[in-house]
Structure 1
Amino acid sequence: MSWKSSLDSLFAILDELVVTDADGVAMDTDQGFALLVEWIDGCREDRRRIYFAGNGASASMASHFSTDLAKNAEVPTEVFTDCSLITATGNDFGYDQTFAYPLSQRMVEGEVLIAISSSGNSPNAVEAVKKAHEFGGLAVTVTAMNPDNALRGLGDLNFYLPADSYGMAESGHAVVLHHLVDIFSERNG
């Protein structure tokens, strides 16, 4: 594969970003970002948090964008990437609870969880979204691969890329999340 074909593939995937609501109804991409920005603004105004969760490379993205959003949107954020927390929770409650359990100790109504999963089938991300709803939170999913993945059907707002490889999914997700942060960067000068 040449560099140019990789770029063309990534552009094609990004160009096919699908944003859906809780009912699975597609919406205009900019409308989806605007809704998420509205939710983040509401959290900032009420000093509520935005939580991030993801596995592997998505965990790195969760950490990266938690920091970027805190800095650029001036909103409290939290990410579940502490290895002691993950291993203790996984050991005591099961790996599928590594995000849901700490979320249940922190989340209050109206806060937002952003769950990132390339496959969209990570059991711990799925359980975190369910827990967010249980506590009156809003859930945003960022997924790829299979359009019928488990996570995509659970979010209040869902960003899906039709990537068929982890490299393209992760690269595309980084672009989607950078776009979100850039909205705040441009607005705040």
Structure 2
Amino acid sequence: MNPDDIIYEQIGLSLETFQLAAEQLDELMHHGADLLTDALLNDGKILVCGMGTSAANAQGFASRMLSRFERERPGLPVLALSGDGTLMSGIAHDTNPNDIYARQVRTLGHEPDVLLAISATGNAPAVIKAVQAAHEMGLCVVALTGENGGDIAALLEENDVELRVPADKLGLIQLTHHLLLNCLGELIEHQLFGSEL
């Protein structure tokens, strides 16, 4: 395979995965955006977390919501739990590395907040524990997963939403998660502020 083939294959697989996600997740995307928007309308906030590339996606989403995405508008209360390295290392040292998000959810989360949990495999232990903590606190969860949904899918409750990317390659799942987060951001902005930029 030559370098051009790699480029075309990656772009082709991405487009195919994007299309499948649009077809399979359309209704769930609306439901997930409704949950997130309702939290904001009821003086709640969105807590978002993930590990590695998923943490970067979480921080990017929080940045776009707190600052701006496609339009000038008031900032929205979205908190990326992965943003403070000192805090996370302190929790990991004092308790358990897998508690880095769960402890923050238990401390910062209150109804009607929503946890936006991102894990390409659905098996990130720290994200799993965050989902469990969210349920303990009475928070709904919107989970972005891939492959077979992993352990996170098995934990989700009736009022939660899973956006499972129909792919098994981590890079494709993470790239599609970025796209889904952009869609969620636009849906939230539209519901809160209308369609005018």
TM over 0.5: yes
Could you list the runs of 4 or more consecutive aligned residues of structure 1 that deviate by over 4 angstroms after TM superposition?
none
| Cα deviations by residue, 1:143-176 (Å, 9 ceiling, x for unpaired) | 113x151112223100111322221111111111
- Report if the CA contact (8 A) 2:123-2:150 is conserved: yes
Q: 2: distance between equivalents of 1:158 and 1:18?
A: 14
- Report if the CA contact (8 A) 1:118-1:166 is conserved: yes
Quote how far apart the aligned CAs of 1:79 are.
1.0
| Structure 2 counterpart of 1:54, from 47, 50, 63 | 50
Q: Provide the aligned length of Structure 1 versus Structure 2.
A: 180
| Structure 2 counterpart of 1:163, from 162, 167, 173 | 167
Q: 1: distance between equivalents of 2:143 and 2:60?
A: 16
Question: Secondary structure at 1:121's aligned position in 2?
Answer: coil
Unaligned residue ranges in structure 2 (runs of 5+): none
When structure 1 is superposed on structure 2, of 85-94 and 40-49 the one drifting more is: 40-49
Q: 2: distance between equivalents of 1:39 and 1:140?
A: 8
In structure 2, the partner of 1:24 is: none
- Aligned AA (2:85): C
Unaligned residue ranges in structure 1 (runs of 5+): 20-27
1:172 maps to 2:173: no
TM-score (norm: length of structure 2): 0.83
In structure 2, the partner of 1:94 is: 96
Percent identity between matched residues is 22
Aligned 1:83-162 pairs, distance under 5 A? 83-145=85-147, 147-155=148-156, 156-162=160-166
1:76 maps to 2:80: no
Structure with max Cα Rg? 2
The alpha-carbon distance between structure 1 residues 78 and 148, as it changes in their structure 2 partners (threshold 3 A), is closer
- Aligned AA (1:8): G
Quote how far apart the aligned CAs of 1:45 are.
1.9
The alpha-carbon distance between structure 1 residues 163 and 39, as it changes in their structure 2 partners (threshold 3 A), is same
Q: 2: distance between equivalents of 1:92 and 1:138?
A: 28
Q: 2: distance between equivalents of 1:36 and 1:89?
A: 29
- Aligned AA (2:164): Y
| Cα deviations by residue, 1:35-56 (Å, 9 ceiling, x for unpaired) | 2222222222222110000111
- Report if the CA contact (8 A) 1:43-1:75 is conserved: no
- Aligned AA (1:51): L
- Report if the CA contact (8 A) 1:47-1:75 is conserved: no
Quote how far apart the aligned CAs of 1:92 are.
1.2
The alpha-carbon distance between structure 1 residues 95 and 18, as it changes in their structure 2 partners (threshold 3 A), is farther
In structure 2, the partner of 1:14 is: 18
| Structure 2 counterpart of 1:4, from 3, 8, 28 | 8
In structure 2, the partner of 1:44 is: 40
- Report if the CA contact (8 A) 2:46-2:115 is conserved: yes
